[in-house]
Amino acid sequence: MFDRDKWQEIFGTIRQNKLRTGLTAAGVFWGIFMLIFMMGMGDGLEKGILNEFGGRSTNSLYIWPQETSISYKGMPVGRWESFNVDDINALKEHAPYLDILAPRHVTRNVVASYKTQSNNFDVRGEWEGIFKVESLEPTQGRVLNYKDEKEARKVAVIGRTVQEEVFGNENPIGKYLIVKGIPFQVIGIVKFEGESRRLQEAEETVFIPLSTSLRLFGNGKDISWFVCTITGDTQISAIEDNVIQFLKARHRISPDDQQAIGCFNLEKEYRKITGLFSGVRWFLWIVGIGTLMAGVVSVSNVMLITVKDRTREIGVRKAIGATPWSIISLILLESVFITTLSGYIGLLLGTGIISFMNYSISAMDMSGQMFMNPEVNLGVSIGSLVVLIFSGLLAGLLPSLHAARINPVEALRSD
């Protein structure tokens, strides 16, 4: 219930001690401001780092061949075994729990042309699954499918950069792109969702069916590498060793050879990053709340001084029948008001600065790999307000209890 007399008394006390109250409130303001600002900056950094995953399936495993480092079954050290389509088909039968298997054959720096325009691009022989794994969505037309692969069609899906540099403003769908003197009908254009420079290489690539790539630009069989994902909620790490050991057995590679097969477990990397930022968030909360507590201590000290200055007044109140709770509630209300108001201003300023940074980054197209679109989410704001109210109660608790214990007779005798 709103008690007008109490609020008049609180504002009167604040007006009489403007400087002291202002300096005290500054500590709370700075604590909550730094908490919000650091959480917002941490959010921007986390988004920038996670954006490097670029929408790819994070539960995926990339595997490629390397040189052997251990002789095995009469085979020498330094042997380089190539993976092939037969390995992929055998792996399908060995591990039916795998969801997507996507082998790739890469031909680097190939001349692609249309009419008088040409440039050099990578040509990738792919299965259709890679478009799901790497989150490549067609902006026009379609992506490669099973029939393209089975019939070894001379069709191509191109990235936006290929479209712009070779076709210009002309619609490339249905037209023929000449790759190493061979015409490929363009059936789709893809764009990459995200800002990752490494993965945006897809927009500078010509995608053709794997079978076509192997026949025209390879030896008909060997692939560069492949990626696999797993069905359900199972983590790819659970079957990583099984897949690698299966490949080692097929290619007579020692089970103990750690160098012969290279792999990149995206799920492990993703968990490392998310775990790191989870720790960072906790650290920022601890630092921010620690800074805020320093301000709360100063509020508590000021409230103790206020109680001491008003000892005679409190004694008079108790002498004429004021209850201990009325005294306690007055001190607590003043403490909560000071901490909440100063903290709320800090919350608004911190949120405002983060929002301005977000707007500036978006408006000036400054999104980069390491930092982008900082925000303060609703949970942080609500949590901060809860901390503020609790801090105000905590700051006023000791002074209010001290005020409630004041003896009216002794209080009236004090100067």
Rounded percentage of the chain residues whose pLDDT exceeds 70: 90
pLDDT recorded at residue 120: 93
Top-confidence residue, 196 or 107: 107
Confidence of residue 301 (pLDDT cuts 50, 70, 90): confident
Question: 């998310």: which residue's tokens?
Answer: 274
Strands 261-265 and 182-192: unpaired
Residue 313: both structure tokens together: 């007044």
The whole-number pLDDT of residue 154 equals 96
Mean pLDDT score of the chain, rounded to an integer? 83
- SS3 letters for the chain? CCCHHHHHHHHHHHHHCHHHHHHHHHHHHHHHHHHHHHHHHHHHHHHHHHHHHCCCCCCEEEEEECECCCCECCECCCCECCCEHHHHHHHHHHCCCEEEEEEEEEEEEEEEEECCEEEEEEEEEECCCHHHHCCEEEEEECCCCHHHHHCCCCEEEEEHHHHHHHHCCCCCCCCEEEECCEEEEEEEEEEECCCCCCHHHHHHEEEEEHHHHHHHHCCCCECCEEEEEECCCCCCHHHHHHHHHHHHHHCCCCCCCCCCEEEEEHHHHHHHHHHHHHHHHHHHHHHHHHHHHHHHHHHHHHHHHHHHHCHHHHHHHHHCCCCHHHHHHHHHHHHHHHHHHHHHHHHHHHHHHHHHHHHHHHHCCCCCCCCCCCCCCHHHHHHHHHHHHHHHHHHHHHHHHHHHCCCHHHHHHCC
- CA dist 271 and 59 (Å) reads 10
Residue with more model confidence, 83 or 14: 83
Tokens 């251990």 found at: 70
Residue 377 CA to residue 381 CA, distance in Å, equals: 7
pLDDT digits (tens, 9 = 90+) for 319-335: 777 777 777 777 788 78
Q: How far apart are CA 333 and CA 29, in angstroms?
A: 18
Residue (of 124, 161, 155, 126) closest to 142 by Cα position = 155
CA gap 156, 183 in Å, rounded: 9
Q: Is the pLDDT of residue 1 over 60?
A: no
Which of residues 73 and 49 earns the better pLDDT score?
73
* Structural contact between residues 151 and 137, judged by C-beta atoms closer than 8 angstroms: no
CA-CA distances (angstroms) from residue 28 to 263, 345, 385, 392, 400? 50, 10, 12, 10, 19
Where residue 198 falls among pLDDT bands split at 50, 70, 90? low
